[in-house]
A and B are shown apart, each in its own frame.
Chain A
Amino acid sequence: MNSDLGISLIVLGAGLSAIGYLILNSTPVLVLGIAVLIMGLLAAWGEGSLDRTQLELARSGWSNISALLESIGTASRAIYLPSSATEAGTSMALVPLVRPEPPSIRLPRGGFAIRYGSEGETGILLYTPGSIAVSKCLSVGAIGGDVATSLTNCLVNHLTVARGVTATPSEDGITVVIRDSRVGGELYGNELTRAILGSPTASLVASVAAESLNSPVVIESEEVRGGRDVVIRLRVIGHGP
């Protein structure tokens, strides 16, 4: 069972049935309780199953990206850039092909494979789940100068993809703990894309943090703690252009 709505309806239905049968001795209330219980069963097992199918269908795009990265032979971690670092004005991820250096120029609009460094560094510029999250949160003003507040406002209050966020500054970076992330790993599974971009949850966190700090950010590590919390360590690399 994966739905709070379903469980709530089941409990409400059981309660109504018990009250109708034992206390009120009323058949209509008893039957209404049974009807609500049935609706709860449908909701509990059904909600989200169509979304999961759609997610699986959408994985083909990420499989192509994974194949592309594999054929290029890159294994560098992506650098999450704030929107000010791209001419398109969108938060994106740069996968460096040679050296993992942050760009010193604003990255051109419409580029996919781009040359960005003074020494001819090249990389691949990708839209990530975090790009979409940042554009959605920027449109409602949920991202500001403080990382912890921005993460909470964006991921918990606006997108509701997690129950809670804690951000702690650490040496040359930030440690973020996401409680009960609702973003599943189905988006791109365990392919190479995950090793480079991080999990979808980590991608959201890195993009929002980069936008809030206005600095490029790299996901250093991520681990699941206690089965519910995801601990993501971000490294801030330099300042935006």
Chain B
Amino acid sequence: MVLKRLLITQLVLYTVVIAFLAYLGVDDFAIYISLVTLIYLVTIITAHPLPPGTRRVANVVTAVLVAVFLYFAITRILQILGVAFI
């Protein structure tokens, strides 16, 4: 039941946010993935405590999404600072 509620909430939020960004004409992958990460983290925290099987996968997915988000964030900050990187 916990998992069902979590999946329905995530599906609704992902669809609404992605559809809205597409409507605004946003084409930047970094913005999409940042918002998906935000929605994912918020929904996972509100669904606490998760069943044991889901908890392990949720932790792995969180780590991957945060790593991707950090990559884009650091890239943008370096661009703003004018630091060239390889």
Contact = CB atoms under 8 A, between A and B. Distances in A.
Interface residues of A, number: 21
Contacts of A38: 10, 36, 40, 61, 65
Interface string B59-75: 00100010000000000
Given A27-B27, A27-B29, A46 B51 contact: yes
A148 B1 CA distance: 34
Contact of B54 (A31, A35, A36, A49): A49
A140 interface: no
A96 to B, nearest CB: 41
Interface of B: 1-3, 6-7, 10-11, 14-15, 18-19, 21-22, 26-29, 32-33, 36, 40, 50-54, 56-58, 61, 65
Of listed B6, B14, B15, residue having the most chain A CB within 10 A = B14
Contact of A42 (B22, B26, B54): B54
Given A34-B36, A39-B11, A46 B18 contact: no
B51 A31 contact: no
